[in-house]
Amino acid sequence: MKQIKLALYGFKAMTVILVLFSLSTSVYARNDDCWVDLYDDTQFKGEHIRLKGPIQLPNLLKVQWQNWDKKIESIEVGPKATLTVFENKNYKLTLAEIANHPVLMKSMGITMQDVLEDSELIFHANSKVHGFGEFDFYHKIRSLKVECIK
């Protein structure tokens, strides 16, 4: 009788382990489509790295042991990712956020035109940017966030 109980406990423990393993691998599989490819030249040329999300990089000085600060020139966004690039380090307060505080905006001398020329860009799943010059973002990216879509 003891052997049967021990066998049942062992079976239950193995079932729990298999369930947990399958859950963890399915989450990982979904994140395989959450990535961003970064290139230091236009038209997806030059040095290249792939970032798997979700990830937040407050600066780009040591990304995979390389300095990518102000070097990103083209990007490809994976099918389950959203990329936000910032012209400043540490995702500092952007003009769009300042626009939510009109008194602050006025005190800083910021106009609505300044807000329209914001310092962050958002790219959704499967986006491709051949060159950031078309966004007036040539050599300006200093921090970024990659978020995963469920």
124: domain CATH number is 2.60.20.10
Same domain, 21 and 46: no
How many independent structural domains does the chain possess?
2
Domain span holding position 58 = 34-148
Same domain, 79 and 131: yes
Same domain, 24 and 60: no
When comparing pLDDT for 96 and 143, which is higher?
Answer: 143
Same domain, 3 and 58: no
When comparing pLDDT for 24 and 52, which is higher?
Answer: 52
Same domain, 72 and 2: no
Same domain, 22 and 54: no
When comparing pLDDT for 69 and 87, which is higher?
Answer: 69
Same domain, 96 and 140: yes
| Residue 81: pLDDT over 70 | yes
pLDDT band at 95 (very low <50, low <70, confident <90, very high): low
| Residue 6: pLDDT over 50 | no
Residue 149 sits at the vertex; the CA angle it makes with 79 and 132, to the nearest 5 degrees, is: 55
The highest-confidence range among 55-59, 94-98, 104-108, by mean pLDDT, is 55-59
- What is the pTM for the complete model shown? 0.67
Mean pLDDT across the chain: 79
Same domain, 12 and 73: no
Burial code of 28-47, b = ≥16 C-beta within 10 A, e = fewer? eeebeebbbebbbebebeee
Average pLDDT of span 97-103: 75
Sign of CA dihedral 124, 126, 129, 134: negative
What does the pLDDT read at residue 114?
67
What does the pLDDT read at residue 3?
57
Same domain, 107 and 94: yes
Average pLDDT of span 127-142: 90
